[in-house]
Structure 1
């Protein structure tokens, strides 16, 4: 999809990109940059394809395109869960360029998304993920918030087959916004959903989610706008698998459950 003039995506795609530093904890090369176009400027993260580490279950050099594809699906939902992301040339070759999101400087007292609690029940306002060892032979229940924003993200992850939804990939921002980042290991043809957001597993989808999935199915149909955009970013087989996941979610009307053939929770979880 060609960015519209004046949009953040256009700034990311066409602005002058300058590397300011490297994010060392990232598993692949991730560079903190500024991008400037005329009087407009923004901070961003640039992940060059040349800095991607090979993975046994994903073709080499495809992670950047998958990140952009995740953004395009997020935009098609209308939920805006992924920061603006484009594929562009940069100082180290082609790569993904994504708007840098600053965390909320003044989080509220009830803005926690993950927690460890004693006991076997999550408590009001929380959903259970599973038990975790916390040292000295003790275990605690890992929980996530029963939060509408997280629930939307769980639906998006099911559609894009996200194999790595860690706690550190959740970014609460100012104004109550929540973003998900790091979508390089998505859109595999095999079921690889690994996430911390299992709290709604097996529960009915909301009416809102069902409506969004129906919209995605229309956009993913042959000749649909989303299908046309994704066909430039992922393979035909991966596009077909995405269609099949949307169809399956609509047919079941429920959030997916762990399949058992793949670890359900990423490591490390946070």
Structure 2
């Protein structure tokens, strides 16, 4: 999924490390092999999928970009490139999301907080159509990720998320080095992941919030977009949004299921303060 989320993937997916420089989009020949910088931003995000409340979340963090043959950390996040051609790719991808305080959420009042979440797993990319002249393409992306949560004192396995997505990408829209991405797709999750969001254990039951045991299956469908634009060779900004529908969701009868629509918006930046002298050639695809 980039994340099977509480709207929280949006926060990190949009703030993913990496800048795309104007000269890279112009001729995509040589790029710094190693970069370091600072990224940050924030958004108005749902506390969890189908939550009835949004909150402002923000984060600032240092980042590194490494453009290796197999391991890469770049404008598309942290990836292990096991196989990559112009039409087909197989990556090992990582993602994460913000925590949510139950004290600030009416539906979850008195329940444990939702912790920081991290994800890891393979992602298959199939390019269905590409226009190299305009630099745009349509991908079918098939990520399968294991989800973990942590409060920084322990780590817990939270199940598996599958989020196939049809994605449109275009480079250089409105500005050299800019990158637009629009994605649409359903989200499915195993029992552990659904329990994490929707289960109410008997000790947390109260009037209006009965005990509930979640089931695996369909979580919802998301439409999301992001637009990254470089302001200078070292500074870029990113904006994005997400609309999620939970109509027909497997656990729509949970007392924690409050809204059939969630919306998210986010803004961020990335500033590259160091770039190595060593340069590497880009791949055959202008998108990588």
What range is the shorter-chain TM-score in?
under 0.3
State the TM-score, normalized to the length of structure 1.
0.24
State the TM-score, normalized to the length of structure 2.
0.23
Higher RCO, 1 vs 2 (CA within 8 Å, ≥6 residues apart): 2
